[in-house]
Amino acid sequence: MSWLVLVLSGVLEAVWATALGKTQGFTRVVPSVVFSVAIIASMAGLAYAMRTLPIGTAYAVWVGIGAVLTVVYAMATGTETVSPLKIVFLTLIIGGVIGLKASH
């Protein structure tokens, strides 16, 4: 159960990171609310997962999932360029997340 919560929290990290970029310094209400709800839920899920998973592993997985999804979303929406090297390095992050899960 902790792994599932951790993965969902990583997804929410991408949500709040993306929403933060759209708040324009917290002057836009909807992105600010999305940011606030997503960061609270993401942190709560991370804290829950850390009750049974090692802190370093849980944090690395959470950050890895959030970072990859944030970049993939930015590339899909055209706000960030796609390049073969970015894809290679994002794949390496995904491999690291899978490796941490497999070695647990």
Q: Which pLDDT tens digit goes with each residue over 15-29?
A: 999 999 999 999 999
Picking from 42, 48, 43, the residue whose alpha carbon sits closest to that of residue 11 is 42
Q: What is the pLDDT of residues 52-91, one digit of tens each?
A: 999 999 999 999 999 999 999 999 999 999 999 999 999 9
What's the number of domains the chain is made of? Answer: 1
Model pTM? 0.92
Q: What pLDDT score does 65 carry?
A: 97
Q: Which domain holds residue 75?
A: 2-103
Q: What is the pLDDT of residue 64?
A: 97
Please state, in angstroms and rounded to a whole number, the distance separating the CA atoms of residues 14 and 37.
13
Confidence of residue 104 (pLDDT cuts 50, 70, 90): confident
- Helices 55-76 and 29-49 pack at an angle, to 10 degrees, of 150
SS3 24: coil
Backbone angles phi, psi at 74, to 5 degrees: -65, -40
Q: What is the mean pLDDT of the chain?
A: 97
The arithmetic mean of pLDDT across residues 30-35, rounded, is 98
Three state DSSP letters for 38-98? HHHHHHHHHHHHCCCCCHHHHHHHHHHHHHHHHHHHHHHCCCCCCCHHHHHHHHHHHHHHH
39: pLDDT strictly greater than 90: yes
